[in-house]
Homo-oligomer: A and B are copies of this chain.
Amino acid sequence: MSFNKIVIFGIGLIGGSLALSLKEAKAVQHVVGFGRSQANLNLALKLGVIDEIGLDLASALNNADLVFLATPVAQTPQILKSIIPYLQEKTIITDAGSTKSDILNYVEQAASTSHESLQLLTQFVGGHPIAGAEKTGVEAASPSLFKNKNVILTPSQQSAEHATSTVKKLWEITGAKVTQMDTDTHDKIFAAVSHLPHLLAFALVDELASRSNAQQLFQFAASGFRDFTRIAGSSPEMWRDISLANNQALLDEISAFEKELAQLKLFLQKQDAKALQTLFERASLARNQWEKSREQ
């Protein structure tokens, strides 16, 4: 499979890496990049990540096979609105947002604005590449970023079959493992394994930083603290948006965690050595089995 023209909104780590990966596989002829920072777009052009800086939506979208939305999620409604007038029937749209129900809502809202824009629903297939949260910017883009990484697609009831299969092939070219599920399942899974850990890390660091002896505490924090809190260094804006977009699932996760923590606290209060060890053993076993399964 080869694409004649792909239009990418947001030429950062994710958008840039997709472009590079497709180029390396000779699976795309021409990549047009849009973005808020002219300097970043110039750099992307210079690095050969994109072939053209998008200036005009009409000409960029003319004959485009695919539009890839890789901007911060909050920009999605505005971008959808702006591209609808120029969207051709053949053009498939996908994205890279960390939450999927809210994106589908944006698409449904954009699609409901006119009879003509209804096609947006059939042409859109949500996606979430699970890769590279730590580095940002086009300089960090790599053709191998998605190799052996999970990419989850969340086609809706309205998504056309050929749209889903095209987006699937797109990601398979990059070496990713593609899985499909509905947006609700996606958002619940990521509330548990990603969003909750981020919020716990933010909460821990914020709580410690607010104390009068914060400096002393941080002075003696070591490698365990470093790894545990690494994700607390993430973008506040992005996590504000995720917290709002995946609000209910995240609240459910916090409640489940609070229950577990209350139980652990009870074991501590009772100084129940056996119950503590059993809990730690279950967790340690699960964690080490998971690590092992990843290495295979």
How many subunits of this chain does the assembly comprise? 2
Q: Is A36 an interface residue (CB 8 A)?
A: no
Give the residues in chain B near A209, CB-CB below 8 Å: 282-283, 286
Q: Mark A217-259, 1 if CB is under 8 A from B, else 0.
A: 1111111111111111111110110011001001100111111
**Chain B residues positioned under 8 Å from A259 (CB to CB):** 207
Chain A count of residues within 8 A CB distance of the other chain: 89
B271 contacts A220, C-beta separation under 8 Å? no
A86 at interface by CB-CB < 8 Å: no
Contact B189 A217 (CB under 8 A): yes
**Interface pick from A89-97, A99-107, A260-268:** A260-268
Closest-by-CB residue of B relative to A294 is: B226
Let me know if A194 is at the binding interface, CB within 8 A: yes
CA distance A251 to B260 in the complex (A): 14
Known: A196-B204, A233-B291; 16 extra A-B contacts, CB below 8 A, are A133-B222, A192-B217, A193-B218, A200-B200, A203-B264, A207-B259, A209-B283, A224-B230, A224-B231, A226-B291, A227-B227, A227-B230, A228-B230, A228-B231, A254-B264, A254-B265
- Judging by beta carbons under 8 Å apart, are B133 and A223 in contact? yes
In the complex, the answer to whether A202 meets B277 with C-beta atoms within 8 Å is no
> A150 at the A/B interface (Cβ < 8 Å)?
yes
Contact indicator A220/B150 (Cβ below 8 Å): yes
Whether B257 lies near A206 (C-beta < 8 A) is: no
Contacts of A226 in B (CB 8 A): 291, 294
A116 at the interface (CB under 8 A from B): no
Shortest CB-to-CB span from A204 to chain B, Å, is: 7
Other-chain residue from B202, B207, B260 in contact with A280 (beta carbon distance below 8 A): B202
Nearest Cβ distance between residue A127 and chain B, in whole angstroms?
Answer: 14
Closest residue to A285 on the B side, CB-wise?
A: B209
Given contacts A192-B208, A286-B205, contact A276 B220 (CB under 8 A): no
A197-B229, A201-B228 as given contacts; A222 in contact with B130, CB under 8 Å? yes
A78 CB–B CB distance under 8 Å: no
Give the contacting residue for A237; candidates B201, B220, B277; CB below 8 A: B277
